[in-house]
Structure 1
Amino acid sequence: MVMSRRAILAQTTLAAASGLVWTAAPATAAGRPRVEDSLRAAIRRLHDSPHGPPAVVVAIGRGSRTSLYTAGVPRLGARRSPRADDRMRVASVAKAFSGATALSLVSSGRLSLDTTVGSTVRGLPRAWSAVTLRQLLGHTSGIPDFSGTTEFRDALVANLQDPPPPRQLLSYATDPDVLFRPGSHYAYSNSDNILVALMCETATGRRYEDVLRQRVLQPLGLGGTSLPRGPDLPEPALHGYDTTVAGPPEDVTTTVAAGWSWASGGVVSTPADLVRFIRGYVGGTLLDRKTRDAQFRFRPGGSEPPGPGTNAAGLALFRYDTRYGRVYGHTGNTLGYTQFTAATPDGRGGVAVSVTAQITPTTGPPLFGQLREVFELAVGVLLADG
């Protein structure tokens, strides 16, 4: 069922009780059983809370083993538990994918971190022209966020399932100036990663989707991951829900076409693929040493929504200092979904937390606190397994 336009405006970020099913590898590392029990309890609390998500999925991978912890069902009315190969919308974790694509091109010499918007993407405001790829990836560009404008929201509501061409998304950033001197401040912006993808297209002469596939998806073996333009989500899937409505949660899985966020939020993946991706990305599989060193220079700045612990921003990557230790990754939220994925610095271990409702600090503060605790405990289990 399609949501009302009012509900879309209120909840889109670009801008019946079910049984509990647990599957996990045996706890063997010192400290893991206690943290693992806490993770199970936190997942249960989140799922059972008023307006809680219909499904909570935590995938933790180390070596060739992936442990899966789940609560709920992939679709209301289903009789099975969520699986590691269920497809879902990863929201702003897509920014890590566009970062991986661009940084791979930097490693091969097709782009430079000092390549400017003006030298690669024509016809944009003059004030944007000196912004570099480094500043786009680090969210220090100062370019206004197209998804926060009234013009974008009006266009979205009028054509939920018919997105414009990717370049046109930037036309909704109606302020032709930058918000601050590029490089001087941190400000999270969806416009940044649209421009990153357009720069990848110019550097290669190919569609971004094809570059993403060649540079990231195929090398890492991500067979369940894609970047569609339309609203469909192939089965098997984790359906996304609006849990704020009166009565049963409303299925919003196919309400909005992925092309409305494209490279900044449109990627479809699975819990298993997210773990594989973040391990390869953080571990440096796709990058040379010089590029990875540049990526791992951090400044104050948080992902949206905030990840666990204290957040700091690198290039298309965030550092999370938790009470259990340090990991690197990305978060995301969009209509029907909230995501967190992170890996150890060497890429030997990774975690993905996926819930089938949009939960943010502003739309549901108590619930988001519970979700953030699930993030933290999932990191605890990952690091205890090391």
Structure 2
Amino acid sequence: MRAADRLQVFVDTIVSGDGPEQGCIAAVSGADGATVRACSGIARADDAFPLTVDTPFHVASVGKMLTATLVHQLVDDGLVGPRGLDATLPELAELGLVDPVLAAGVHPQADSITLRHLLSHTSGMKDMQVDDADGTAEQHGGPAPGSIQASYGASVVRASRGTGDGAFARRRWTAWDPSAPDDPEAGHLNLFLASGTAAAPAGAPGERFHYSDTAFALLGTIVEAARGTSYADAQRTRILDPLGMSHTYLAYGDDPAPDARAREMDVWLAGVGLLSGGFDLSFDWGGGGQVSTVDDLLRLVRGVLAGTCVSAASRDAMLTPSPCPGLPLPRIGMGLGVHHHRVGERHVIGHAGAWGVRAFVEPASGLAVAATVGCLDPCAWLGDLFDLAEAIVREESP
């Protein structure tokens, strides 16, 4: 069997198993950019359209590479002050880039938190997505009861059983509403403060690794304040257009082609197709609120590796692993915006997304992969996908 045909078998196998995967799209490419793609399964619970290799999907935390790039560009342009990545929240507040309420309230030691801490998940801030005031997801063995994910999942399940209206899972989120800092329903960061989660941190700034979508929501607000435009506009003009990522947009915050949103691949949770069911995924925003395609994610991860959109110094800062005590496997290092993973014998960089999304490149070989399965998934298949990429490139080489 040709290696390219084995990619089709790979995606067929993923969706034919006993897991929650209903659809899979995968793409692999060699250093020359030649790409092979395959897909299998269904796109939507409502069967509105067939799944193709070009179907757009929600990328979840893979989008953090976009937020990180935008922040490094602020450093390159001198917009965060002379200390650059080491600028603290109070210093950024003095520049008008962080609301003083946030600069003082996101952590008991917020005055010590820097951009470097936020980008490397070492700020000590909890993650409102999965943590709450009483503990972390790790301590609870899953999303903490007061977290966004716990409330969201329960809302979806109740709605699917006819015992609730799903209001929490249908709400449209904002990152921060400064007019209502104490209103937990006003925005992601508002909930973080009002729920007491901010006041009960995961650790001191710089102490250890603790993954935080909330930190990246804060970074997104800094980008908007510094650029004087929306996150979506900054992303499009400064990254998407330069990299040719014409099929990527910020969900709920951008203006894609007229039919783009209507053709997004479903995200599956508890057996429910969230988009088909009318549920909302706007809670991720700067932490990964983008919709993209496998081809565009390959462009992104290669652009990050090349440093196409940032200075040489920022490329180095983005890619070079920084000390992160407590970093869990398969991560073996954290750059300021990308993850270093050990996959078998390979050292790859890129990012993972909670909805079974992966976008990684192997610097040593130039191999790159991008894939989604559209549901919560540990993606143990990433190593197999890189092995397939290597076999395909070898077979296709003259």
Which bin holds the TM-score, normalised by the shorter protein? 0.7 to 0.9
2:242 aligns with one of 219, 222, 225: 219
Q: Aligned residue for 1:171?
A: 190
Partners of 1:57 and 1:201 lie apart in 2 by 32
Q: Secondary structure at the match of 1:166?
A: coil
| Distance in 1 separating the partners of 2:362 and 2:310 | 16
Structure 1 residues 67, 90: closer, same or farther in 2, change over 3 A? same
- What does residue 91 of structure 2 align with? 119
Residue 72 of structure 1 and its aligned partner are, at CA, apart by: 1.7
Spell out the pairing of 1:148-227 with structure 2 (5 A cutoff). Answer: 148-149=131-132, 150-153=145-148, 157=155, 158-167=167-176, 168-173=187-192, 174=196, 175-176=198-199, 178-227=201-250
The answer to whether the 8 Å contact 1:143/1:189 transfers is yes
SS at match of 2:236: helix
1:134 aligns with 2:116: yes
Deviates more, 1:291-300 or 1:198-207: 291-300
Gaps of 5+ in 1: 1-25, 28-32, 360-367
Q: Which letter does structure 1 place at the counterpart of 2:261?
A: P
Q: Distance in 2 between matches of 1:352 and 1:376?
A: 12
Correspondence for 2:315 among 285, 292, 296:
292
Change (3 A) 1:229 1:151: farther
Kindly state the Cα deviation for residue 80 of structure 1 after the two structures are TM-superposed.
Answer: 7.8
SS in 2 for 1:268: strand
Q: Over the residues paired in the alignment, what is the CA RMSD in angstroms?
A: 3.1
The equivalent of 2:78 in structure 1 is: 109
Flag the 1:268–1:303 CA change in 2: closer, same or farther, 3 A. farther
Residues 383, 283 of structure 1: CA spacing in aligned structure 2 closer, same or farther, 3 A cutoff? farther
SS in structure 1 opposite 2:249?
Answer: coil
Higher mean C-alpha displacement, 155-164 vs 45-54 = 155-164
| Amino acid across the alignment from 1:381 | L
Percentage of pairs with the same residue = 24
Gaps of 5+ in 2: 93-97, 133-144, 156-166, 177-186
User: 2:367, 2:320 → 1: CA distance?
Assistant: 21
Once the two structures are TM-superposed, the CA of residue 325 in structure 1 deviates from its matched residue by 2.1
Question: What CA deviation, in whole Å up to 9, does each residue of 1:47-86 have, x standing for no partner?
Answer: 1112341111111133342210222232357598633321
Deviation string 1:137-195 (CA, Å, 9 cap, x unpaired) is 10000012122235553875443233242113112222325432211211101111011
The alpha carbon displacement at 1:300 in A equals 5.1
CA distance 1:253–1:280, change in 2 (3 Å): same
Are 2:278 and 1:253 equivalent residues in the alignment?
Answer: no
Equivalent position of 2:36 in the other structure: 67
2:383 alignment counterpart:
376
Q: Secondary structure at the match of 1:277?
A: helix
In the alignment, the residues of structure 1 paired with residue 68 and residue 250 of structure 2 have an alpha-carbon distance, to the nearest angstrom, of 14
**TM-score normalized with structure 2 length:** 0.74
Report the count of equivalent residues. Answer: 332
Q: Could you tell me which residue of structure 2 aligns to residue 7 of structure 1? A: none
Residue aligning to 2:26: 58
Secondary structure (helix, strand or coil) at the match of 1:182 reads coil
| Equivalent position of 2:51 in the other structure | 82
Q: Distance in 2 between matches of 1:300 and 1:350?
A: 25
More off after superposition, 169-178 vs 133-142: 169-178
Change (3 A) 1:300 1:43: farther
The separation in 2 between residues aligned to 1:233 and 1:301, in whole angstroms, is 41
User: Would the alpha carbon gap of residues 205 and 155 (structure 1) be closer, same or farther in structure 2, given more than 3 Å must change?
Assistant: farther
CA distance in 1, matches of 2:35, 2:307: 20
